[in-house]
Structure 1
Amino acid sequence: MMIFNLYIGKLVHIELLGDRDKMGYLIDAGSDIIVIYMDKKYVYLPITHIKNIELNTEDNANQDAPPDPISQTGHINFVGVLHNAVDRFVEIYLSDHQTLHGYVKYIAQDYLVFYSALYPKLYIPIIHIKWISPYESHQTPYSMNQKNWTTDTADSSLDTLPPTFGQVLKGLEGEMICLDAGLHASQIGLLEKMNDSFIELVTADENKLHFNVQHIRNCISFVK
C-alpha cells in the first residue's frame, strides 16, 4: 500500500489490535501485509489488525539496526507468506497473549493446520492471526531433536480436510475438542452439534455452552 511506502527503512511505532504495540524498522509492504524488523527477527503483520502507524520519535539507541540492504519487493501478500511458512518453525500470535510455537503444515481456504510440541493438531482461522514470525532454519521447538520435526513426515489426514473452518467443526461433532488452547475450563468439552454459526459444547459438569464460530481463535481436536 502506498501509505506504508513512506515508512520503508524507517523506525516505526505500530498500534496493533489484540497485542502490545510494536516498534521496529519497516522492511516491506504489500497489498494486505507489512514486514517489520524487531528484536533481531522479521515479523509479518496483516494490515487488517493495524490500528495506526507512525514514525518513532523516541530514543532508538537500544533498537537493532535494520538489515542492510533492505530488499523491498512490494509484491508480498498474507496468503503467500503463509504458504512459504509451511514446514517452517514459526511463532504465531493470536490474541489474549496467546503465542504458539510450531509448524504450519497445511493451508486451507480460511484456516491453517498447526503442529505444536505442547498441543495436538490445531486448526487456526487465518483471520485471527495477528502476526507470524519465522525462526532461523537451524532452530527447533525447545531445542528438541530435529528428527522429531522432520518436514518429510506425511499426515494423510491432511488430504481429506474440508476447505473451511466451519466444516472442520461440523466434522468434529460428537468428539472431544478444546477451544482457544483451553485458556478457560469452559472451552474444553464434547462438541455436541453445530447449528448455523454456533457450536454447542458440553463441559465436564454437563453444562451446555454455545460459542460463536467467528470468535473461535483455534480448535484442538483429540481425534486419533
Structure 2
Amino acid sequence: MASFKNFLNKQVTIEISGNSNVDGILIEVGNDLLVVFNGENFLYIPLLHIHNLSESTLEESFGVVPSLQELEHEKDELSLRKVLTAAKGIFVEINLSNNRSFHGFITTIMNNYFVFYSPIYKIMYISLQHLKWLTPYLTEKTPYMLSNNLLPVNPSNIPLARTLDVQLNKLIGELVVMNSGENYEYIGKLSSIDSNFIELTTSRGESKLVGLRHLKSIFIP
C-alpha cells in the first residue's frame, strides 16, 4: 500500500463506485480499506470500490482531525473485517450506493455478509461486496434521536448461515425487499435460489430473476 501511503495526511479526492466522490484528509491506510476524514466524520472506504484517488485541488479546509476514538484500537492492523468487528454495537451509517445510506448498528458478521439493525428497516442482511463506506457516529446521539428502549440490544434470534446465499434459502416463501426497493422489481416473494439467481414472484404473480451478485441488501418488511 506504499502508493496510497504517499497521500497520508493530505487532502484527497476519491472516486467511488456509483459515480460518487469523497473529499477529505487521508488518515489511515489498511490492508483492504482507507480511512478519510471529511470534516465531520471518518469514512472507512473499502479499496474494492475505489476507482481513483488524487490529491485534492479544493482549497477547503477540513479543520482539526479528531482522534479515531471509537475504533482506534484496531489501527495497528487495519482491515475491513476488523473495523466491522470493532463497530459492532456502535451506531454507524453505512452506504451501499450514491443515494442509499442506512443508520443503525451491526449485530453479526458472517463470511460474505453482515446483519444490520435499522430502526426503519429492522433486520437487514448486507452484502460485504457492496459496502461502499462505513461511518461511526462520533457523538452519543442515536439514530433519529430515538430512546434506547427503541433500539434493542439483541434484535433477532434467527439462526445465521455462514454465507448469504444459504441464509437467503431460509427466507424462501417470505415477502422481501431487495436493494431497499430502489426498483419495484426488487420487491416480491422470494420463491427460489438457484445457479446464483434469485427468483422473485412480483405483486402481479410474475416471475423475476435477479442475479445474486447484484444483491446489496435484503430485509423482510
With normalisation by structure 2, the TM-score equals 0.91
| Displacement of 1:65 | 3.4
Identify the residue that residue 35 of structure 1 maps to in structure 2.
Answer: 35
List per-residue Cα deviations over 1:39-88 (Å, max 9, x = no partner). Answer: 31111000111111111122124x3333479x894520000001111111
Question: Cα deviation per residue 1:97-130 (whole Å; 9 max; x = unaligned)?
Answer: 1111111111011000111111121100101000
Structure 1: give runs of 5+ residues left out of the alignment.
Answer: none
CA contact (8 A) 1:32 1:78 kept: yes
Counting only pairs closer than 5 Å after superposition, residues 48-127 of structure 1 correspond to structure 2 as: 48-61=48-61, 63-67=62-66, 73=75, 75-127=77-129
Structure 2 counterpart of 1:133: 135
Mark the CA change 1:155 to 1:174 in structure 2 (over 3 Å): closer, same or farther. Answer: closer
Are the counterparts in 2 of residues 92 and 133 from structure 1 also a CA contact under 8 Å? yes
Partners of 1:40 and 1:217 in 2: how far apart?
A: 26
Q: In the aligned structure 2, how far is the partner of 1:43 from the partner of 1:73?
A: 14
Distance of 1:117 and 1:199 partners within structure 2: 26
Matching residue's letter, 1:108? M
Partner of 1:8: 8
SS of 2:31's partner is coil
Quote how far apart the aligned CAs of 1:171 are.
Answer: 1.7
**Deviations 1:15-42 (CA, angstroms, capped at 9, x unpaired):** 1111521110111001101101013111
Q: CA deviation at 1:220?
A: 0.6
Query: Which SS does the other structure have where 1:186 is aligned?
Result: helix
Equivalenced residues, count = 218
> Aligned AA for 1:162?
A
d(CA) in 2 for partners of 1:68, 1:115: 26
Separation in 1, partners of 2:7, 2:76: 13
Residues in 1 aligned to 2:205 and 2:187: alpha-carbon distance in whole angstroms:
11
Contact 2:13 2:54 in 1 (8 A): yes
Distance 1:101 1:68 in 2: 22
AA aligned opposite 2:108: Y
Distance in 2 between residues matched to 1:171 and 1:47, nearest whole Å = 31
Retained in 1: the 8 A contact 2:119–2:151? Answer: no
**2:187 corresponds to 1:185:** no
- Report the Cα distance in structure 1 between the residues aligned to 2:189 and 2:98, rounded to whole angstroms: 24
Q: Distance in 2 between matches of 1:88 and 1:27?
A: 20
Distance 1:17 1:200 in 2: 26
CA contact (8 A) 1:108 1:164 kept: yes
Give the whole-Å Cα distance in 1 for the aligned partners of 2:79 and 2:202. 39
The amino acid of 1:109's aligned partner reads N
What is the percentage of aligned positions where both structures have the same residue? 29
Gaps of 5+ in 2: none
Deviant stretches of 4+, over 6 Å: none
- Change beyond 3 A, Cα 1:73–1:88: closer
**Could you say what the CA RMSD is over the residues aligned between the two structures, in angstroms?**
2.1
Return the alpha-carbon distance in structure 2 between the equivalents of residues 10 and 51 of structure 1.
Answer: 18
Aligned mates of 1:96, 1:57 — CA distance in 2: 22
1:45 is aligned to 2:45: yes
Cα pair 1:90 1:133 within 8 Å, conserved: yes
